[in-house]
């Protein structure tokens, strides 16, 4: 059966159906539409002003590859300049292969690449070392918690190194939906209040972060990468199966099967959540050790590293943060109930 | 006056004779123990039982209203499940038996009656029905004197006024109303409506909406100011997650909070929300509470057939692995507030959704949102085709932005696209549901009438905009109706 003509240019044969609308489009028109939508998100949300130096968090995976590619196409129109920042968490067998992909991309696109490594920034703690340290605690490992917090910090450091004014990451709509589900299931009101929407505006000296792809569904990102023949690294992290996010991910897959617009419905819900003022996180201060943005005396990264150095990796995880030598406020979330297996990709 | 309406899909609340016990120290326990028994057979079906109680100056008579809500729903799948009129009558008789032992007044209403509801059901009235206010206050005062206990907790709710352990056996005077056998034409119209809906998710949501409207109507006609439903902690946690997935994140506090005042004069209250299903099951078992089972619209449906089923299975499975899941979600729901979007709190109340009666959460001006993306990308993709496309494109319900422009110019008479008129008055969640309803004709007439009324009114207001003086009191008060 011959393919129908493209619904947009009416000339070429349609090569795909858009997951969202079922429209039949040819490859070129789809890529053009995708880029137009990202442009619209950035412009309508006023995410990246002219003259911004934008640090793209590049992991070598499909999302950051597509993001970098699209932003590179749109850079002249937006008036921004791009820098690639890659983070080396020190996960053997996974991160090195991903970094090789990032280097290839940087060479192809002729964009400056900076690699920051955990081992350098965090006193020799690589993710493998963290995983070994947390392995013996009986409950499932919480290395994803560490990885996420430390990666945010590493990205910030890398961005400052290259003199960037904004950080962008490639989170797509599916990621946002999963995060919302996960935060509700774990009762993480602080993250619910902070997350959702377009990103953080950058309070207290932290660089503003945004997610231009957050309204694009994962399937469309993959389709775009396919049609533009982008070279990316597609394996899953070695530690991923233990993460709590897996539950949310499975649920999202089922929901999408039951109702195709479920992902965007969840994103809409996330945008419109109304939380009580008492649930909002405390106003930002500065960490007493490293000076970074923190809502308590110690920022989460320093707190986690503190716990690792003391041989008690779970010190800063979960509620209460008992035992840390900080005289923080009684805290919004100090309660009796421990969150279940506190793995998570941390704050957005 | 309090109308206690219960319309859960699984657990079912019925009255039991605990009223006979005289003393209970804690008023909260009093409310629960004295007012509620919940039957929670795991497969208990979806018959809605609305219980209403009212206190009067003369005697503390309590009325019970039960609406056999999903009876008609069983009917639509009833043919497949073998539920006939005979089965329905049998279940109704069983329910009546139980209700009679409780000793309250009761009403039984069939869902088919939605076809005879007036459009005023969809309007929000600001005050309680005027005739009852004085009586209610007097009743509460005298009850408090009798109890010699300080008012507890939420004084606005009628719990102190509703029970009367001293006179449990006020003979129910002739206020029971029983369902007339439903008119065949209405039954047929109902089954046609539900058969036309494409997905089970949309069916369940529609059923929920119609049930709410019916209970609201019954409460208003009989002058009840409070409606109590029997949602348990587990149910509400599942409902919260389901609402998220349906796009109702803005209204979580109304859907799952303790009190739901969006209807104005009738307040929906959920006193059981601190108890889990298991606790309630044990309670019923220990106190031998009778129950009635009827199949619901999604009984025996496979797990992946609707979002409600999916969420329920997911939450219960996760609960088995992480036992604090349900209570965590419940605690999170307590932190939600009923605020409108930030920044618009000070202004006059905005338009309300036609079906769920919450303030609309869609902002057509802001296009960098999930809603904006769904309406925008089509117009971006088709620059050559002119915008006169509202009736032809299949997803016209998603193109409200465009349709609004072309319809309002042509006048309110709905000749362009009546569907667009209805759709543009719905909130995000209801719009997504309506996508699964291919035609609006089988909907009960009160919905369509009210939609037309509202769009006419909006058009008239727009025409007269330049002549109206802003900030007059009339404007603000009648902004709702």
Higher per-residue confidence, A204 vs B434: B434
CA angle B31, B92, B282 (to 5 degrees): 40
Q: Give the one of A44, A258, A264 whose C-beta lies nearest to B306's C-beta.
A: A258
Consult the annotation and say whether A331 binds a ligand.
no
Q: Is B233 on the interface with A (CB under 8 A)?
A: no
* pLDDT score for B57: 21
Question: In Å, how far is A209's CA from the nearest CA of chain B?
Answer: 16
Question: In Å, how far is B392's CA from the nearest CA of chain A?
Answer: 15
| 3-state SS, residue A329 | coil
Chosen for mutation from B321, B340, B373, B427 (greatest number of chain A CBs closer than 10 Å) is: B373
The residue assigned the tokens 């932190």 is B335
A44-274 folds as Rossmann fold (3.40.50)
Specify which residues A57 forms β-bridges with: A85
Report if residue B289 sits inside a domain.
yes
Q: Give CA–CA dist B47/B98, Å, rounded.
A: 14
CB contact under 8 A, A269 and B244: yes
Over range B325-345, report the average pLDDT: 76
Over range B26-41, report the average pLDDT: 37
Q: Give CA–CA dist B99/B289, Å, rounded.
A: 12
Strands B108-110, B267-269: pairing kind: unpaired
* Domain ranges within chain A, ordered by starting residue: 44-274, 282-316
Consult the annotation and say whether A170 binds a ligand.
yes
Higher per-residue confidence, B328 vs B371: B328
Strands A81-88, A53-57: pairing kind: parallel
Q: What is the pLDDT of residues B446-465, one digit of tens each?
A: 888 888 888 898 889 888 88
CB contact under 8 A, A215 and B368: yes
Number of H helices, E strands in chain B: 19, 9
Q: Is A269 on the interface with B (CB under 8 A)?
A: yes
CB contact under 8 A, A184 and B324: no
Q: Is A253 on the interface with B (CB under 8 A)?
A: no
Q: Give CA–CA dist B212/B251, Å, rounded.
A: 16
Strands B49-50, B66-68: pairing kind: unpaired
Q: Give CA–CA dist B412/B396, Å, rounded.
A: 18
Question: Is B408 within 8 Å of B425 (Cβ atoms)?
Answer: no
CB contact under 8 A, B370 and A259: no
Q: Give CA–CA dist A23/A32, Å, rounded.
A: 14
Which residues 410-439 of B are in CB contact (within 8 Å) with A? 428-429, 432, 435
Q: What is the pLDDT of residues A131-160, one digit of tens each?
A: 777 776 555 567 777 788 888 888 888 888
- Is it the case that residue B152 has pLDDT exceeding 70? no
Confidence of residue A311 (pLDDT cuts 50, 70, 90): confident
| Average pLDDT in chain B | 66
Question: Is B326 within 8 Å of B276 (Cβ atoms)?
Answer: yes
Backbone angles phi, psi at A83, to 5 degrees: -135, 140
Confidence of residue B35 (pLDDT cuts 50, 70, 90): very low
Q: Among B62-71, B206-215, B244-253, which is the least confidently predicted range?
A: B62-71
Q: Among A209-213, B4-8, B40-44, B123-127, which is the least confidently predicted range?
A: B40-44
Q: Is B389 on the interface with A (CB under 8 A)?
A: no
Q: What is the pLDDT of residues B229-238, one digit of tens each?
A: 888 999 999 9
Q: What is the pLDDT of residues A269-286, one digit of tens each?
A: 888 887 777 766 666 677
Question: What is the extent of the structural domain holding B288?
Answer: 46-54+67-123+180-335
Q: Is B390 on the interface with A (CB under 8 A)?
A: no
Q: Give the one of B324, B339, B369 whose C-beta lies nearest to A268's C-beta.
A: B369
Consult the annotation and say whether A57 binds a ligand.
yes
Consult the annotation and say whether A68 binds a ligand.
no
Q: Give CA–CA dist B47/A344, Å, rounded.
A: 40
CB contact under 8 A, B335 and A276: yes
Which of B110, B115, B116 lies closest to B71 in space, CA to CA? B110
Neighbours of B330 (CB within 10 A): 20
Report if residue B271 sits inside a domain.
yes
| 3-state SS, residue B352 | strand
Report if residue B295 sits inside a domain.
yes
Question: Is B59 within 8 Å of B260 (Cβ atoms)?
Answer: no
Report if residue B252 sits inside a domain.
yes
DSSP state of B262: T
* pLDDT score for B178: 57
CATH number of the domain residue B83 falls in: 3.40.50.620
Give the DSSP letter string of A197-245. Answer: TT-----TTPPPEE-TTTTS-HHHHHHHHHHTT-----PPPTTGGGSTH
Neighbours of A161 (CB within 10 A): 13
Q: Is A336 on the interface with B (CB under 8 A)?
A: no
Neighbours of A233 (CB within 10 A): 20
Q: Is A132 on the interface with B (CB under 8 A)?
A: no
What is the chain B residue with the closest CA to A176? Answer: B370
Report if residue B393 sits inside a domain.
no
Q: Give CA–CA dist A215/A343, Å, rounded.
A: 25
Question: In Å, how far is B137's CA from the nearest CA of chain A?
Answer: 31
Q: Is A275 on the interface with B (CB under 8 A)?
A: yes
Q: Is A258 on the interface with B (CB under 8 A)?
A: yes
Which of A100, A60, A57, A115 lies closest to A82 in space, CA to CA? A57
- Is it the case that residue B45 has pLDDT exceeding 60? no
| 3-state SS, residue A216 | coil
Chosen for mutation from A37, A43, A255 (greatest number of chain B CBs closer than 10 Å) is: A255
- Which residues of B are less than 8 Å from A264 in CB distance? 247, 370, 373-374
- Is it the case that residue B402 has pLDDT exceeding 50? no
Higher per-residue confidence, A2 vs A53: A53
Confidence of residue B205 (pLDDT cuts 50, 70, 90): very high
* pLDDT score for B32: 45
What is the chain A residue with the closest CA to B430? Answer: A265
| Domain count across chain B | 1
Question: In Å, how far is A217's CA from the nearest CA of chain B?
Answer: 11
CB contact under 8 A, A254 and B304: yes
Q: Is A255 on the interface with B (CB under 8 A)?
A: yes
* pLDDT score for B137: 63
- Is it the case that residue B80 has pLDDT exceeding 70? no
Give the DSSP letter string of A253-297. Answer: HHHHHH-TTHHHHHHHHHHT--B-GGGSPPPPEE-TTT--EESSS
- Is it the case that residue B433 has pLDDT exceeding 80? yes
Report if residue B81 sits inside a domain.
yes
Take residue A112 and report the two structure tokens written for it: 């400056």
* pLDDT score for A345: 52
* pLDDT score for A197: 58
Q: Is A265 on the interface with B (CB under 8 A)?
A: yes
Q: What is the pLDDT of residues A245-275, one digit of tens each?
A: 889 999 999 999 888 889 999 998 888 887 7
CB contact under 8 A, A265 and B432: yes
* pLDDT score for B371: 75
Q: Give CA–CA dist A320/A338, Å, rounded.
A: 9
What is the chain A residue with the closest CA to B321? Answer: A340
Backbone angles phi, psi at A273, to 5 degrees: -65, 140
Q: Give CA–CA dist B290/A73, Å, rounded.
A: 68
CB contact under 8 A, B325 and A185: yes
Record the pTM: 0.75
Consult the annotation and say whether A66 binds a ligand.
no
Q: How far is CA B423 from the centre of its chain?
A: 19
The residue assigned the tokens 């609340």 is B13
Which residues 156-215 of A are in CB contact (within 8 Å) with B? 173, 180-181, 184-187, 189, 192, 198, 215
Q: Is A242 on the interface with B (CB under 8 A)?
A: no
Q: B465 to each of B50, B349, B470, how far by Cα in Å?
A: 43, 18, 9
- Which residues of A are less than 8 Å from B253 in CB distance? 274
Which residues 393-412 of B are in CB contact (within 8 Å) with A? 395
Report if residue B361 sits inside a domain.
no
Q: Is A271 on the interface with B (CB under 8 A)?
A: yes
């Amino acid at each position: 059966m011959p393919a129908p003509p493209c619904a947009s240019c009416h000339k070429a044969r349609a090569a795909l159906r858009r997951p969202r609308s079922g429209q039949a489009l040819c490859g070129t028109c789809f890529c053009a539409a995708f880029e137009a939508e990202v442009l619209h998100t950035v412009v309508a949300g006023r995410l990246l002003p002219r003259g911004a130096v934008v640090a793209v968090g590049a992991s070598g995976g499909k999302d950051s590859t597509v993001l970098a590619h699209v932003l590179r196409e749109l850079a002249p129109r937006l008036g921004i300049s791009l820098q690639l920042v890659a983070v080396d968490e020190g996960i053997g067998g996974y991160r090195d292969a991903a970094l090789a992909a990032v280097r290839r991309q940087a060479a192809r696109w002729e964009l400056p690449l900076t690699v920051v490594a955990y081992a350098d920034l965090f006193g020799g703690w690589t993710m493998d070392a963290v995983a070994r340290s947390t392995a013996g605690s009986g409950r499932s490992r919480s290395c994803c918690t560490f990885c996420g917090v430390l990666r945010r910090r590493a990205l910030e450091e890398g961005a400052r190194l290259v003199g960037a004014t904004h950080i962008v990451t490639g989170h797509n709509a599916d990621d946002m939906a999963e995060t919302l589900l996960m935060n509700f299931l774990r009762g993480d009101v602080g993250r619910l209040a902070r997350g959702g929407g377009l990103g953080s505006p950058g309070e207290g000296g932290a660089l503003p972060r945004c997610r231009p792809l957050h309204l694009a569904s994962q399937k469309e990102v993959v389709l775009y990468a396919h049609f533009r023949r982008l070279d990316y690294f597609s394996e899953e992290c070695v530690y991923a199966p233990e993460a709590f996010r897996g539950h949310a991910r499975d649920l999202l897959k089922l929901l999408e099967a039951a109702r195709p617009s479920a992902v965007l419905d969840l994103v809409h819900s996330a945008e419109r959540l109304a939380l009580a003022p008492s649930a909002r996180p405390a106003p930002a201060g500065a960490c007493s050790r490293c000076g970074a943005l923190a809502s308590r005396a110690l920022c989460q990264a320093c707190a986690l590293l503190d716990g690792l150095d003391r041989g008690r990796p779970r010190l800063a995880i979960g509620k209460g943060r008992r035992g840390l030598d900080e005289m923080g406020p009684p805290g919004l979330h100090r309660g009796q109930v421990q969150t279940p297996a506190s793995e998570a990709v941390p704050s957005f | 006056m309090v109308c206690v309406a219960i319309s859960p899909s699984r657990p079912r609340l019925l009255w039991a004779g605990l009223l006979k016990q005289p003393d209970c120290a804690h008023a909260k326990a009093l409310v629960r123990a004295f007012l509620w028994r919940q039957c929670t057979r795991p497969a208990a079906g979806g018959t809605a039982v609305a219980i209403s109680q009212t206190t009067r100056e003369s005697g503390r008579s309590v009325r019970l209203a039960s609406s056999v809500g999903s009876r008609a729903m069983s009917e639509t799948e009833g043919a497949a499940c073998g539920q006939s009129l005979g089965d329905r009558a049998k279940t109704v008789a069983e329910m009546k038996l139980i209700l009679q032992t409780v000793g309250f007044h009761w009403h039984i209403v069939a869902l088919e009656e939605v076809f005879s509801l007036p459009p005023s059901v969809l309007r929000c009235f600001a005050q309680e029905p005027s005739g009852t206010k004085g009586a209610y206050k007097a009743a509460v005062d005298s009850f408090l004197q009798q109890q010699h206990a300080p008012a507890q907790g939420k004084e606005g709710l009628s719990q102190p006024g509703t029970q009367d352990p001293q006179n449990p056996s006020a003979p129910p005077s002739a206020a029971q109303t029983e369902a007339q056998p439903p008119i065949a034409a209405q039954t047929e119209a109902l089954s046609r409506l539900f058969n036309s809906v494409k997905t089970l998710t949309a069916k369940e949501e529609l059923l929920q909406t119609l049930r709410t409207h019916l209970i609201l109507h019954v409460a208003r006609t009989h002058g009840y100011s409070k409606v109590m439903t029997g949602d348990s902690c587990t149910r509400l946690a599942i409902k919260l997650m389901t609402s998220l997935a349906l796009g109702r994140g803005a209204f979580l506090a109304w859907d799952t909070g303790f009190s739901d005042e969006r209807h104005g004069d009738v307040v929906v209250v959920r006193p059981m929300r601190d108890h889990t299903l298991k606790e309630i099951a044990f309670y019923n078992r220990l106190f031998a509470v009778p129950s009635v089972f009827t199949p619901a619209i999604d009984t025996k449906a496979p797990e992946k057939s609707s979002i409600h089923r999916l969420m329920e299975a997911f939450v219960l499975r996760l609960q088995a692995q992480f036992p604090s899941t349900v209570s965590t979600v419940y605690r999170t729901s307590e932190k939600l507030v009923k605020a409108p979007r930030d920044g618009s709190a000070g202004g006059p109340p905005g338009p309300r959704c036609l079906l769920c009666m919450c303030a609309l959460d869609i902002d057509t001006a802001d296009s960098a949102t999930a809603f904006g993306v769904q309406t925008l990308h089509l117009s971006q993709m088709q620059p050559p085709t002119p915008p006169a496309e509202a009736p032809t494109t299949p997803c016209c319900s998603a193109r409200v932005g465009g349709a609004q422009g072309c319809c309002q110019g042509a006048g309110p008479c709905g000749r362009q696209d009546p569907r667009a008129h209805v759709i543009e008055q719905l909130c995000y969640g209801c719009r997504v549901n309506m996508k699964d309803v291919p035609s609006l004709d089988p909907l009960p007439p009160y919905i369509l009438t009210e939609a037309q009324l509202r769009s006419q009114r909006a058009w008239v207001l727009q025409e007269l905009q330049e002549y109206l003086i802003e900030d007059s009191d009339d404007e603000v008060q009648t902004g709702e109706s």
